[in-house]
Structures are given as structure tokens and as C-alpha cells.
Amino acid sequence: MRTQVAIIGGGPAGLLLSQLLHTNGIDTVLLERRTREHVLSRIRAGVLESGTVALMQQAGVGERVNDEGQVHEGAVIAAAGRMQRIDFSKLTGRHVTIYGQTEVTRDLYEARDAAEAVTLHECAGVKPHDIDTDAPYVTFLQGGKVHRLDCEFIAGCDGFHGPCRQAIPEARRTEYEKTYPFGWLGVLSETPPVASELIYAGSERGFALCSMRNETLSRYYVQCALSDSPEDWDDDMFWDELRRRLPEEVAANLETGPSVEKSIAPLRSFVCEPMRWGRLFLCGDAAHIVPPTGAKGLNTAASDVHYLFQALKAHFQNKNDALLDSYSTDALARIWKTERFSWWMTNLLHRYPEQTPFDIALQNAELDYIAQSTAAQQALAENYVGLPY
């Protein structure tokens, strides 16, 4: 089997890259470890930067996000006794769109089906070979047989635990990591959202987030201990704790109901450098992870896809490798800024186990500064709606 670009990982990053390349006549084969049903069952983020939506439109999968996505022109920071709305449109002229990652993935799968592009699921033991030569290839096990896929380039969109990052020699890669001493307990409920825009809440009891998927499906989070499990929290416990962390006027309007899905996610910041080795290019969680506070996970993957798509298009259509050579530098420059913003938002709104009164006073001073400074609000808004590519 042969293709121009082998894409390892069938999540939104791999699917978006494959669809963009397909629209430009570049052949791909996509390998995914899990079943399609499993990929579509993942509950993930739902805040899309304008750049991510533009990439979907460019890939020909923008119709449903345009029709069904909710445009949000602001968000609310509720902490230190105040509710401060950050007006994205006024401060930046841009907005974000609420549209679940599951729906992004579904749209991309349907487009790939329509294109009759090759997507192979349940591929075990995927391994890149000869990535520092002009003839890389990938081996994998499917249907009880070992297969070989020859290609010109490999895109590693296979997540943090995938094989692609590990294929870069350990002595030649640098990994930066910060783990946070808490997690997020998330609940999905078939209830109307408590507000028309996202509410980021900081309180003495910890962080909370009020989000949504659509007008009848809400997503809520509370900061929790890493030692907790979803079974430790029944629905009543969750709703009671969420109310305690929200301003009274918000909590009074909270409509509760049975949880459809409940899970706990640890928070981590991670970056791998470089994001290229030979003919292997890392995308998304394979190269970096951000805490979810800034709503950047899917959006950082999309920015990688933008840079890699442009680079591969220049190679195949114009025989120009300048963008391939600068891919890692270009992608990392934006990634580190996004890492900074997500780290800053996390520190601003969460309570840490060893936090001192001095630390809390600094948080309150920062929140006070944001409330009083248009420049501070603009900086927050510029990062939240997405830095330019």
C-alpha cells in the first residue's frame, strides 16, 4: 500500500488535515487505533476559535457549524465578588463558536466517506519506520495481518500516548511538563444552559465552569481532587457543589437534571520540541497538551494542521520546502503563547492546596485589574478568540 501522506490518528486533527489535503489533490491514508464509534463517543471541548472554523470551511465541512454553531461574542469571569463580562466583539472584532468536538469529528468523517478516502480503523501496533530517510513507511496490524504503508511523509496526529513522538530519538527531543494538583469533574446534562455565554467562576471552594453544547444540552465542571473518581460524586452532590461556587444570581437560575455523562480529567501542560524529525511531523496532543481552562485543546491542534497543510501543499504543488523546514518553529511559536494563556487562566481561577493568603490576594488583585483595565480585558479577549496564524 502506498500514499503521499500517511496520517496516524483518526481524531479531529488527523481528519481535518486529511480533508484539507484531499481538497488540494494530495493523497492520504488515515490509520486509527480505535473503532469509528469509539472516536465519535469521546466527549471533548466545544469552543472553536474563528481560525478553526475558517479551516473547517476551507476543508468543505463548514455548512453545519455555520448553521448550528452558536456564536459567542463574550464570556463572563465571576470571581472576587464580581461578574465581569469580556466583550470579545468590542475588544477584538472577533468571536468564538460553540460547536462540540464530537460534531466536528462527525462532519469530517462524513466528508472523508464522501471522498471515498482510505480510513483504516482498529490498527494495532502502528509504528513509523525510516523517518529520517526519503522513504519512510508505517507498519501496523489489522485483521490478524501485518501491513506496510509506504509514503513520502508521516503526520503524527496520534495523541499523547501514540507512537509518533516516541519515534523521535529521545536524545534529540526536549519535553516540558507541568502537572496541576487538581482535576476537573465534568457533567453533561440534558438541561438548558444557565446562561447564554460561558461563565468562568473562581471561589473559595475552587473553580467552576458553566458551558453548553446547544440550547438543551449543558456542560458543567467543578475543580476536584485528583484522588476523586466520578463514582464519588452522585448527581445531587455535584449540583450542590456547583451552586456553592457560582454567584447567587446564577445559582438561582440553574436547572438541574440527571447526568448523561460524568468524567474527571487531570490538568496538565506539556510541550515536546521539536515537532518534526526527518519526514515525521507531530500534530496536536502528540506534541502538546494544555489545561482546558482557556478552551485551547482542539484549537491548538487546528493551528498545527494549518501550518502542516500549508507546508505540504507548498511541497507537492510548488516543490517548495521552506514551510516544511520551518514547520516546527512556526507551530511552536504559537503553541507556547497558547500554553502561557492556558496556564495564566488556570492560575487566575483555581485554588491550590498550598495556596497562601498572599497568593489569594494576588489573584484578587489580578481580577480587580482585569475589571478596571480595558487593556487587560483586550489581552484576555485576544488570546481567547485565538491568536493569528
Q: What is the DSSP letter of 2?
A: B
Sequence-distant (6+) residues with CB within 8 A of 16 are: 55, 56, 59, 104, 108, 302, 305
Check 99, 109, 137, 384 and give the catalytic one.
384
Residue for grid cell 474527571: 264
Whole-number Å distance between alpha carbons of 138 and 147: 8
337 catalytic? Reply is no
350 given a catalytic annotation: no
3-class secondary structure, 15: helix
pTM equals: 0.96
- Quick check: is 389 catalytic? no
Which burial class, exposed, middle or buried, applies to 148 when counting CB atoms under 10 A from its CB (0-12, 13-18, 19+)? exposed
Q: Where are the domains of the chain?
A: 5-72+95-177+268-346, 180-267+351-385
CATH 3.30.9.10 fits 180-267+351-385, yes or no: yes
CB contact at 8 A, 275 and 327: yes
C-alpha cell at 319: 516543490
pLDDT value at position 306? 98
Active site residue 200: yes
Angle between helices 12-22 and 297-318 (to 10 degrees): 30
Residue showing cell 469521546 = 42
What's residue 46's pLDDT? 87
Which pLDDT score, from 0 to 100, does residue 331 have?
98
- CA dist 235 to 81, 116, 210, Å? 27, 44, 16
- Comparing CA positions, the residue from 121, 158, 170 lying closest to residue 142 is 121
Catalytic residue among 12, 22, 72, 306: 72
Residue ranges of the chain whose pLDDT lies below 50:
none
- The CA distance from 69 to 100, in Å, is 9
The dihedral region occupied by 188, where left means phi > 0, alpha psi between -120 and 50, and beta the remainder, is beta
| Residue of 109, 292, 313, 327 with catalytic role | 292
Task: Write down the catalytic residue from 22, 262, 288, 296.
Answer: 296
Say if residues 346 and 267 touch (Cβ distance below 8 Å): yes
pLDDT in tens, 104-124: 999 999 999 999 999 999 999
Could you give the CA distance from residue 73 to residue 96 in angstroms, rounded to a whole number?
7
Catalytic residue among 137, 200, 221, 307: 200
The grid coordinates of residue 348 equal 487566575
C-alpha–C-alpha distance, residues 227 and 224, integer Å: 8
Of 96, 116, 22, 6, nearest to 299 (Cα)? Answer: 96
The hierarchical CATH code for the domain 5-72+95-177+268-346 is: 3.50.50.60
CA dist 201 to 91, 223, 239, Å?
21, 10, 15
Determine whether 384 is an active site residue.
Answer: yes
Q: Confirm if 176 and 271 have CB atoms less than 8 A apart.
A: yes
